[in-house]
Structure 1
């Protein structure tokens, strides 16, 4: 991937794991420290830190990873998003898992989806 002359800082992220050979949640004074408990909420071990294991996978929750193009969301079409919205609205209804077996309820949902003004067609519902 071309960087167009940009230089990216090294990733500040590292794996934070409980399976290391050395204790990771206790500094020399023996007090427990964790992100949000004695450490900043966005704490990640750096190379050279006692609890550093290795670089972690890029994360869409990390602004640094997004700024450096280490994470990119795949393109999703408007129709896919419309279908996801429809499925979400149906599964938010109480007892949708039993209503889905009722043909009258399914027809009501189909009619509502077609009348919603969203980009939902009959062929998408079939």
Structure 2
């Protein structure tokens, strides 16, 4: 399959604060291909194999203080890369991966992203990899 790239949805009130963190539309996206899922959210990055994805679901809407920017969930240790309070996609992982801090110490079992077309990303993540 050709790589599918999803852009983040940026709600207007949060554009400037996120830009101050280096999170802008040109520095933020989700790419999925047959081998990997890669997320860039300004200076933050998450990469995992497609085989590590165990599920995905649409979630939201969110409260702005829980969704905007990079966030660690105290409930499950998941990470949120949020630029909108609208819906997003929660991607569950078999093995946790680092994203918020450098190094192997903090690993996240899930990641939520607020992309412009959650249904399209969900469809790509649920489709079996080719090959």
TM range (shorter): under 0.3
- What TM-score do the two structures reach when normalised by structure 1? 0.20
Task: Considering fraction of residues, name the structure with more strand.
Answer: 2
Task: Considering fraction of residues, name the structure with more helix.
Answer: 1
- What TM-score do the two structures reach when normalised by structure 2? 0.20
User: Which structure is higher in RCO with an 8 Å CA cutoff and minimum separation 6?
Assistant: 2
